[in-house]
Structure 1
């Protein structure tokens, strides 16, 4: 991805939250649902009440920082993420989000220091490495501009600055601000460190068929001259050849799931919605029309979306119903998360379509 897109997208609040194994909170789930519905003020009010009882809850603090940033309350968000780095210095995501906010303010030195802290905590944190590259590019742009102010005939600085400008949006570009405000809300399915994508299972190597010698042709029995010639024998398959099995639908189901993810990544709303069955069970019991309107808005808003699936496993319930279980890696503007997901699919009009979508917390 070009550096300009990386700066205005991946540098805009990477929401890699902190998943604590075996932890769950009904109240936090409800607060997160309010945020998903766009009720940010109400979500913040309830979140403050929750933090009054659980002041050191890492997930709640992180969610508060994200919502404050999306509300353009940058200084308050910086304060929250700074508190997180002090209480949980082993977590890389708060450092990354601090860098995002500092970069938005034009404080690239602080952004660089925060990203270096994130990388020291987790050297395999790819998002922080990418963002650090964007910061270096921005700082290089400022240095080349300064060199040209001091020497307007410096052709080398001029060509280098032109190259950097091709890669980066100008300082204060409104795409940065819009991406922070309009980015989708984070979920509570979060991890303390980047999770390496599991390799896709490889299909077993084809088994070489066992070579068998053809059975010897039977010796023809002489026919008496007076006998009537026998009718010609119609050639048939040997009795030992098994009946042909029906085609395994597993691959068709895998193709349907991967097409759904591809349509999501390409932000092809029509193709994405066409992946769902007529009797699809909406997550919160809302009407199909309201659910589709919400999905259209969330898929269309981000400047980019990337959905990757790994460890996809398909189980047939019966001839017309199946389940697909996989790990989903989702990235959109500032939001980056990895969750377990299960799709219930049914066969309708010759196609495998999604009837229910479940997230494994």
Structure 2
């Protein structure tokens, strides 16, 4: 079964969550937004019925409901996880393993599914060891339930990617604000985009460089700057490079160059630590 993230986004309750339910603990159910379609509401009702059946001890009813959901939505990861958890509760580990392995073939990085499957593998291994070594207590799989199909289930890799993407957006916005401060000739605001120890090859320290930039910003009667072909590339989780074509014009000077800015996250503030004109 090939995983299709687009399909997951389109089916009712497609975004899953890492909110998990351990057997015996009851937590409130997440409700769909008022704007949900009738199909989405019907799906959520069926999903919640399975949760309620499991919490009341009707595991056969929960299994039947979840099997019905999977017939209609065969790539529903939350339903797959919960069906496996129900089988685990009934000690039907082979069935749970089959459900989880099938779901993991769709996306092998889903953390909740992987955790439940690993419990079954560990249980099977302990049983095998008992036939060779002296008897010891076997840890039974517990099974974890996903409470709602209305929110997102992310792997650590996906969460890290989301963080990087957010930082890229922040830096892109900072580049535009940096440009505006330069155009508006607001020296203090412009300099604040640079790291406190920033300098260039032509100056011995930050203070000398900042004094030079003060003159460059305040001397012209006007400044116009246009940035084109802006490209944002993460170098590390805390360092992002931005390249672009910069068209500069004032009453005294005019040019167009390819430029690189390297931004670094310093105390949750993205600052310029490197600025270069690219000649290649």
TM bracket (short chain):
0.3 to 0.5
Higher percent of residues as strand = 2
Greater RCO (CA < 8 Å, at least 6 residues apart): 1
Q: TM-score, normalised by structure 2?
A: 0.46
Q: TM-score, normalised by structure 1?
A: 0.36
